[in-house]
């Protein structure tokens, strides 16, 4: 069974509900989730890209977008008796034992908070367990992987990290630039994660992590989640495959130890062209292909189970 530590399904839920659809998860995604063995998800509140929001008059800023997404999430969950929101691994296990799927909540980019640190307390009250200071761009807290690679956290960003740790919200560095990563690691008093990133040694793009960064995450007790997005797996189109993603997992295990490797697939084929997963992992129904290749690469059943669910759930405890 699989715990996917990064899912943008709330994006799809929101845009489709705003267009008049209901039962989005059940009608459009449940079959693939079940085929892929997904028992639980980390659902991301992601509102940083303009995308469909430009056509929503009420979405005047990132804060308004977040509130709209939360309302759509609440309405969707009321239609999903098979899915329960949880805050702890113990709650996840209880939900699984009851025959249901579970979901945690994350924030992918804290643009909506502006300069209001109190927003982190509101995230905590909502049950958010993972937070990224920024997405690919720059905000009042930090700079993302798409910006200046050297600029560090702002003073407000440093204060935000402290508040997140106080509220038991894991700091997620997947979209952070190298300078911000450095500053987070200097401050870290507990596990730091990269929920959906791969290895820069195998695919040299800013969204991936160097071996030194992998070791730094290991030293906090954190994890790194494997990302299926084709551009983060290999620069050669012919090598953007499930087998190559398995090789990222094997490299992480060699550098960090297998206990720090997890799943954060970031399936987003439903966003449209340019967002495809690698060959053999086009959507979540095909997750088994990754674990086929992990076995081929020599990982035993215990190691595969650690990657599939146990490692990520451990850091959420």
> Which residue ranges make up each domain of the chain?
2-315
- Please report the pLDDT score of residue 219 as a whole number: 98
Q: Give the mean pLDDT of 124-139.
A: 98
DSSP structure string for 239-274: G-BHHHHHHHHHHHHHHH-GGGEEE-----GGG-TT
Q: What is the mean pLDDT of residues 56-66?
A: 97
Residue 101, φ and ψ in degrees, nearest 5: -90, 155
Q: What is the pLDDT of residue 199?
A: 98
C-alpha–C-alpha distance, residues 288 and 294, integer Å: 10
d(CA 249, CA 254): 9
Helix residue spans in 144-270 (DSSP H): 155-166, 178-187, 211-220, 242-256
Rounded to the nearest integer, the mean pLDDT of the chain is: 98
| Cβ 178 vs Cβ 208: under 8 Å | no
Identify the CATH number of the domain defined by range 2-315.
Answer: 3.20.20.140
Rounded to 5 degrees, what angle do the CA atoms 263, 229, 223 make? 25
The pTM of this model reads 0.97
What is the distance between the alpha carbons of residues 5 and 263, in angstroms, rounded to a whole number? 6
Beta bridge partners of 145: none
Confidence of residue 124 (pLDDT cuts 50, 70, 90): very high
Give the separation between CA 41 and CA 33, rounded to whole angstroms: 10
pLDDT confidence tier of residue 97, bands split at 50, 70 and 90: very high
């Amino acid at each position: 069974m699989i715990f996917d530590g990064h899912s943008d399904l709330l994006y799809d839920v929101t845009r489709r509900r705003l267009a008049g659809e209901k039962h989005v998860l059940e009608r459009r995604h449940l079959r693939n989730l079940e085929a892929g063995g997904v028992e639980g998800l980390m659902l991301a509140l992601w509102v940083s890209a303009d995308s469909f929001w430009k056509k929503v008059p009420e979405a005047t800023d990132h804060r308004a977008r977040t509130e709209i997404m939360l309302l759509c999430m609440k309405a969707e969950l009321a239609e999903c008796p098979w899915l329960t929101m949880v805050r702890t691994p113990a709650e996840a296990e209880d939900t699984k034992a009851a025959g249901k799927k579970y979901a945690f909540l994350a924030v992918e980019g804290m643009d909506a908070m502006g300069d209001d640190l109190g927003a982190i307390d509101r995230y905590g009250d909502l049950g958010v367990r993972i937070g990224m200071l920024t997405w690919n761009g720059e905000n009042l807290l930090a700079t993302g992987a798409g910006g200046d690679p050297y600029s560090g956290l702002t003073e407000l960003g440093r204060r935000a990290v402290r508040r997140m740790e106080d509220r038991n919200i894991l700091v997620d560095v997947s979209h952070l630039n190298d300078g911000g990563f450095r500053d987070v690691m200097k401050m870290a008093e507990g596990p730091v994660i990269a929920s959906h990133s791969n290895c820069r040694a195998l695919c040299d793009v800013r969204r991936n992590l160097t071996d030194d960064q992998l070791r730094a995450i290991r030293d906090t007790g954190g994890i790194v989640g494997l990302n299926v997005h084709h551009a983060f797996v290999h620069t050669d189109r012919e090598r953007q495959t499930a087998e190559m993603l398995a090789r990222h997992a094997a490299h992480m295990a060699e550098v960090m130890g297998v206990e720090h490797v997890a799943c954060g697939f970031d399936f987003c084929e439903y966003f449209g062209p340019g967002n495809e997963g690698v060959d053999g992992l086009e959507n979540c129904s095909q997750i088994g292909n990754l674990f086929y290749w992990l076995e081929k690469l020599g990982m035993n059943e215990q190691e595969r189970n650690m990657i599939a669910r146990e490692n990520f759930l451990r850091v959420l405890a």
